[in-house]
Structure formats: C-alpha cells, structure tokens
Copies of this chain bind each other. A is one copy, B any other.
C-alpha cells in the first residue's frame, strides 16, 4: 500500500470500522471490531487505538485519522458532549485521547456529518454546492453541506434535524423533547407507526412476528412489502408522508433544495419516496417544491469511512 493514505473510522453502537483510504477514495482495507460490554470512553479509546496501531503497521505513511461519532460533537475541540450509544460519556475529549494514544493527528465529527462529506466527495452529493444529508437509521442524522463545506454551526451541533418537531404532543424522544422527526421517520418511528396503527390488516401482519413488536424490524417490513403485504406497504407510505413533512421544514428553513437520503432504512426507497415527494410539495411553496430534488445516497456503509478519511486529509 502506497503513501498518502488516511484512516477513516466509523463508530457505531455495536461495532467500529477502521478503513485505510487512499487519496483518490479507494478503501484499501476495512477492519470491523465489536465494541463489547466495556463502553467507557477510556475503554473505547484503548480498543480503537489498538486497532489503529494494527492498521498503521500495514501502511506506514498514514499520519491522520478521521472518526465519525454518533452524538453531539464539537469538532474544533475534539470533544464528544453526548452520545446516544454511550450514555456514560459526558464532555469526553475523544479526539485528543486517540491522538495521544496513537501519536497521530485526529479529527472527530458527528457521524452524519462524516457521511455527508463522503457523499459530497464521491457519492450522491458530488458536484452539489449545497445539500442536506439525512440518514435514516435507529434515529435520524443530518449533515449540512454549505458552499461545499460541512456547516457545523456555532459549536458543532448543526444538523440535528432528527430533533425538529413533527407533533407538539407526540411520543417522548430520548433527547428530552416530544414528537421529534425521528419518532416518525426512522427505525424507531416505524415501530411507533406499527404500534399506533388500528388498520384491520394489522393482526395478520403482527401474527407473522408472533405479535412481538421487537421483531418488527425495518428489514422485515421491507421484505413483507416486497411480498405484497398490504399492511407493510401502508406503513411505508405513512413513513414516507412523515419523512416528507420533516424534510419540508428543513427545506423551508435552509432554502437548500437538494436532499440526499441514506442510512439503512432508506433501502425501502421505492416503497416510501412517492409519498415523501407528495407531502414535501404539500408543505412547501409551489416554487420551492418545484425545485426540490431527493437523491438516494450512493455509498451505503462506506460513506462514513470515506467522509472521515476525507475530513482528516483536508
């Protein structure tokens, strides 16, 4: 492996993945490590630094690391204020800690921001001056690309679009608010939509899952919709409507008309996107609606690693 590589790391709640990325955006190698039960910041720093050292031994010319972290991150200071997957973390100087352990230059940022940078570099956002990246996973992540750069706001917290409002008195969200966007248009939202439905076709659908809501994953609802299940299809349509409603608020606020939609749940694209477009049009001015373009993310799981590497190398 040649010079001028960068390490891109994507930290999730279950695993982290370290990728060696070349200057042209080729992922030369990826290693996945389970996070395990020990989840303090010190534990994760130790585990991740070990992984970095191992990867670096395979490519001596790597000098910088980019890390995407779920949560509220101050990229300038390298601090994680809060992470939904690591509830013990509070004002953790994660960037400096990894840097000290590895002797390498480290940039950290919110994971959705890293995905946005990845898609801007080599994916669906390539060539777009401005776009909003929305990742549909357990929750909803967001990254805003403004004039070709990630917009972090005053303290690094921009793009928390999952916590914009859909329903004033809606279900309680982890963030402390109620009725957040991510309580409707994410994996968590899908569960709520199933639970709250009183559609007559629901009992037949639930029977497939032995009436256990825990088993009702986005993948399972997707598979059933593909098999023609009426209830599953209706759930995706409702999901699409809420997605459109939330995106409309983002478009009205930012005036950015290109939206890139990624994350695991976006795999069901064909089952929800028409409703999303319709609702978005209903909730924006006609002129605005005519200019909005919804793009399917192109890089899948690799976006975070690529964006992290890109951020570290720039």
Interface residues of A (CB under 8 A from B): 72, 81-82, 129-130, 142, 144, 146, 151-161, 163-170, 175-178, 242, 245-246, 248-250, 252-258, 282-288, 291
**Interface pair A255/B168, CB less than 8 Å apart:** no
How far apart are A74's CB and chain B's nearest CB, in angstroms? 9
- 8 A-B residue pairs with Cβ-Cβ distance under 8 Å, sorted by A, are A81-B287, A82-B287, A157-B287, A164-B164, A165-B165, A168-B242, A176-B286, A249-B249
How far is B153's CA from A175's CA once the two chains are assembled, in angstroms? 28
Other A-B pairs beyond A151-B254, A164-B164, 8, CB < 8 Å: A82-B287, A154-B257, A156-B255, A164-B249, A166-B168, A167-B168, A168-B242, A168-B245
Contact yes or no, B81 A255, CB < 8 A = no
User: How long is the Cα–Cα vector from A254 to B245 in the complex, in angstroms?
Assistant: 18
CA distance A258 to B155 in the complex (A): 11
Q: A83 to chain B: closest CB distance in Å? A: 11
List the 6 shortest-distance A-B pairs measured between CB atoms, nearest first.
A153-B255, A158-B255, A164-B249, A177-B283, A160-B252, A157-B255
| Cα distance A249–B161 in the bound complex, in angstroms | 8
Q: Which of B154, B159, B169 contacts A130 (CB 8 A)?
A: B154
Contact residue among B72, B152, B165, B287 (Cβ-Cβ distance under 8 Å from A249): B165
Q: Which of B146, B163, B252 interacts with A163 by CB under 8 Å?
A: B252
A160 contact from B82, B159, B164, B253, Cβ within 8 A? B253
Are A72 and B288 in touch, CB under 8 angstroms?
Answer: yes
Taking the closest CB of chain B, its distance from the CB of A295, in whole angstroms, is 14
Contacts of A168 in B (CB 8 A): 166-167, 170, 242, 245
Kindly provide the distance from the CB of A106 to the nearest chain B CB, expressed in whole angstroms: 21
Known: A72-B288, A282-B176. A254 touches B165 (CB 8 A): no
A94 to chain B, nearest CB (A): 15
Task: From A82, A163, A253, A284, name the one whose CB has the most chain B CB atoms within 10 angstroms.
Answer: A253
Given A164-B164, A165-B165, A249-B249, A256 and B287 contact (CB-CB distance below 8 Å): no
Please, how many angstroms separate the alpha-carbon atoms of A283 and B161 in the complex?
12
Q: Which residues of B contact A159 (CB under 8 A)?
A: 253, 255
- Identify the interface centre among A144, A176, A284, A285: most chain B CB within 10 Å of its CB: A285
Instruction: A283 to B175: give the CA distance in the assembly, Å.
Output: 7
Tell me if B151 and A255 are in contact (CB < 8 A).
yes
Establish whether residues A165 and B283, one from each chain, have CB atoms under 8 Å apart when the complex forms.
yes
Residues of B within 8 A of A156 (CB): 255
A138 to chain B, nearest CB (A): 17
